[in-house]
Amino acid sequence: MNPQEDPLETKPPDVVPPGDDGCVVWHCRHLRTRDHPVLAYAAAEYATLLPVFIFDPSFYGPEGLACDARIQFLHESIADLADQYGDRDGALTLCHGDPVQLLTAFAEAGWDIATTADPTGRYGLRRDNQVAEACDVTFIDADGLVRGVENSRDGWSEQAEAWLTGALCSWDTDGVTVQSLDTPVTIDRVGDAYAITPDKRDVPAGGTTAARKRVIEFLEQMNSYPANISAPADARTGTSQLSPYLRFGCLSVREVYQAVTKHDGADRATEMFKSRLWWNRHYNQKLADWAGWMDEAANPVMERFHDDTHDPTLVEAWKRGQTGYPMVDASMRCLQATGWLNFRMRAMCASFLCDLLQQPWKIGADWFYYHLIDADPAINYTQFQIQAGMDGTNMLRIYNPRKQVRDNDPDGEFIYRWVPELQPLPVEYLDRPEKTPLYVQDNCDVTIGETYPYPIVEYEAAREAIVAKFEAVREQAKRALQNDAVARRISMSQRGRVEDDPDHEQAQDDTEAGSVQSSLSSFQNERSR
């Protein structure tokens, strides 16, 4: 939609001066009122708070890199945030338009402005810089990350641990007025103006209320968590499914970490899940250190690595789940239909695109980012690069999609659901349908090459080709790591691993995304405080 044709109010609202002193609390990503560092800061420093959410046109329409299902999740989370302020005898002010213009209007009326210092890239980074230039904005960075030092890894583990285990940020309405402005902007009007029509299924409801309910459900089943992270059919119900809530800040990572710590569960399950929350902080630290993860190869030697083999027809087959490799195709169709995929399948699909098909990593990372409900730039882009070998360190992590069928879908439950044209095919042929004897194809009325495609590449030949291509640049990539800046951006965390976890090297099977000082009862009894 052209913003000039948008029926929503795009001009700054009539801003009422704050009186003696007041602070606009600009909600960008942390859509909650509990354990919110900006609210804690503002309530301690100001007499009047004005919570604001700005619907930014840049995130909507054909240029916005988010599917309608993720936007709907965001809108539900904003509605829940408004309810949280209602529980505190306040209200959330909704605006629509250019954040720089809107926040400038607030500043000119006498309001100070505070928001969170979230790791971001591309448009978000430019927007924050422009707002900072136009207004006197206080960016609060109480998120366990290290900023403003040359080497963020010095003391990082200690700082992250202190944050994860420390007291939650608290604030109350005693002595503070929570003010709001009457604007014509509503969530429904925004949805209608941009024709938000989600077409994905099995998408969770957004908001802190739904997030707390999910925490309770997960803690009750957490002991079975280690067995459920790899097989995609099991992961849908056996993992936490908290990653969308962490991505939008409906809960803080710290709240979830402390809830899991306080829960009386099996040691291995507890430590495995806590390690995923460590990895969440680790990859957010990476993006805070270097915003280029979203657009540039982490190792400069790998920049434009697959440009010479870019083939849009191969990319399209990968996107649509028509590669002739059932586990890849089931995963890609599941991603597009539901906006979710467990980590192992995400890693396999990234490896398939960049290793076996030799296609540029950014095309795939953007496709994932568009469709994932839990799409977090700090996790999506770093992980895609790592799985594609763009860090130049572990370039031979090449997934065998046939083996993934045998290991993680031996009964064909996942493949039969998402590749229904293969349902008549006996399960023993699902790892290599093209090898199904012709008499079996005739008997089950599945014709490979017609009912289901032949593999678009031959695995052994494709693997041999990418190994040779990596070997040709291996020494050059190692030399690039001697540059301190490159070495720092690629460095791994010293904490967060569970050595008996077979997937520990792959970072985070559940919070994918990742993804309390609060007990289980607090999630049951308290929505917003």
Structure confidence by residue, pLDDT tens digits, 227-239 = 999 999 999 999 9
**pLDDT, tens digit, 9 for 90 and up, residues 256-299:** 999 999 999 889 999 999 999 999 999 999 999 999 999 999 99
User: Span 302-316, mean pLDDT?
Assistant: 97
**CA trace torsion 60, 66, 69, 70 (10° rounding):** -100
Position 487 pLDDT exceeds 80:
yes
Position 112 pLDDT exceeds 70:
yes
Domain span at residue 32?
Answer: 3-193
pLDDT of residue 473: 96
Examine the domain organization and report whether 185 and 219 are in the same domain.
Answer: no
Examine the domain organization and report whether 465 and 390 are in the same domain.
Answer: yes
- Give the span between the Cα atoms of 241 and 244, in whole angstroms: 7
- Give the span between the Cα atoms of 225 and 153, in whole angstroms: 30
CATH of the domain at 412: 1.10.579.10
Examine the domain organization and report whether 247 and 393 are in the same domain.
Answer: no
User: Span 116-137, mean pLDDT?
Assistant: 89
pLDDT of residue 518: 33
**pLDDT, tens digit, 9 for 90 and up, residues 197-219:** 999 999 999 999 999 999 999 99
CATH of the domain at 17: 3.40.50.620
pLDDT of residue 502: 33
User: Span 292-319, mean pLDDT?
Assistant: 97
Examine the domain organization and report whether 489 and 518 are in the same domain.
Answer: no
**pLDDT, tens digit, 9 for 90 and up, residues 63-98:** 888 999 999 999 999 999 999 999 999 999 999 999
Phi, psi of 161 (to 5 degrees): -65, -40
Inside any domain, residue 222? yes
pLDDT of residue 493: 59
Q: Rounded mean pLDDT of the chain? A: 90
Inside any domain, residue 202? no
488, with CB counted inside 10 A (0-12, 13-18, 19+), is: middle
CATH of the domain at 225: 1.25.40
Examine the domain organization and report whether 185 and 229 are in the same domain.
Answer: no
Examine the domain organization and report whether 257 and 319 are in the same domain.
Answer: no
Domains contained in the chain, number: 3
Percentage of the residues of the chain whose pLDDT score is greater than 70 = 91
Inside any domain, residue 60? yes
Inside any domain, residue 426? yes
Examine the domain organization and report whether 103 and 70 are in the same domain.
Answer: yes
Examine the domain organization and report whether 371 and 500 are in the same domain.
Answer: yes
Examine the domain organization and report whether 113 and 164 are in the same domain.
Answer: yes
Examine the domain organization and report whether 219 and 151 are in the same domain.
Answer: no
**pLDDT, tens digit, 9 for 90 and up, residues 144-182:** 998 877 777 778 888 999 999 999 999 988 889 999 999
pLDDT of residue 499: 37
pLDDT band, residue 517 (cuts 50/70/90): very low
Examine the domain organization and report whether 260 and 308 are in the same domain.
Answer: no
Position 7 pLDDT exceeds 70:
no
**CA angle at residue 80 from 235 to 214, to 5 degrees?**
25
Inside any domain, residue 198? no
For residues 116 and 32, the answer to whether their CB atoms sit within 8 Å is no
Pair of tokens at residue 65: 């890199």
Examine the domain organization and report whether 390 and 262 are in the same domain.
Answer: no
Q: Which of 193, 224, 246 is the last residue of a domain?
A: 193
Inside any domain, residue 203? no
pLDDT of residue 6: 52
User: Span 22-39, mean pLDDT?
Assistant: 96
Pair of tokens at residue 265: 């569960």
pLDDT band, residue 443 (cuts 50/70/90): very high
